[in-house]
Amino acid sequence: MSITINVYESPLDSGLQSSLVALGLRNSFGLDVHALNLPGNYYAIAEKEGLVVAMRRFKRHVLKSRSGESIHALQACDTLTDVNARGLGLFSKLWGELKISVMADYTCTFNFPNDISYPIYIKDGFKTVNRIVTCLLRNPPKVLIETEEIYFDYV
């Protein structure tokens, strides 16, 4: 059984939204249903025999430095893999398809992984910038390693 992976831009059509909601319900995952209709997200989605078995959401950001320079970045957000499709490397395959599809338009991708996903992010080429926990900012800063410039979400 072959697994196909495609990247979609939100807002998603109603059929795909229904499939993602069903995936969340089957796996007791509180999917951010509101984000399915908002522009500014990419969804890397894996399907097996017409059934959605995994998805990763990436939110687009425009980050600005104090000097006014802008960069385009993606934040890895929700990730969901059906319990029956785990162990197939879909987390990395979804990220890989997104890189092929859209990463040429973005300076960086960032995330705030948990203890379970952290090793996979490192394996997939992510680097740890720092371990600062930001509690009061609506959106934590992004540090561009090469220039040591700090960027914030424009909002």
Q: Match 């700090």 to its residue by tokens.
A: 150
* pLDDT (0 to 100) of residue 135: 36
Lowest mean pLDDT, pick from 1-5, 21-25, 149-153: 149-153
Tell me the three-class secondary structure of 33-63, residue by residue. HHHHHCCCEEEEEEEECCEEEEEEEEEEEEE
Confidence of residue 24 (pLDDT cuts 50, 70, 90): very high
pLDDT digits (tens, 9 = 90+) for 93-136: 998 999 999 988 988 888 888 888 888 878 877 777 766 544 33
Output the pLDDT for position 22. Answer: 94
**Alpha-carbon distance 27 to 142, whole Å?**
32
- Spatial CA neighbour of 104 closest among 2, 7, 4: 7
**pLDDT tens string 78-87:** 899 999 999 9
The gap between the terminal CA atoms of the chain, to the nearest Å, is 44
Please give the angle made by the CA atoms of 8, 60 and 33, to the nearest 5 degrees.
Answer: 60
pLDDT above 60 (res 88): yes
User: Could you report the per-residue pLDDT of 31-54, keeping only the tens digit for each?
Assistant: 888 889 999 899 999 999 999 999
Residue 73 confidence class, pLDDT cut points 50, 70, 90: confident
CA-to-CA separations, 36 to 2, 32, 59, 68, in angstroms, rounded: 26, 7, 11, 31
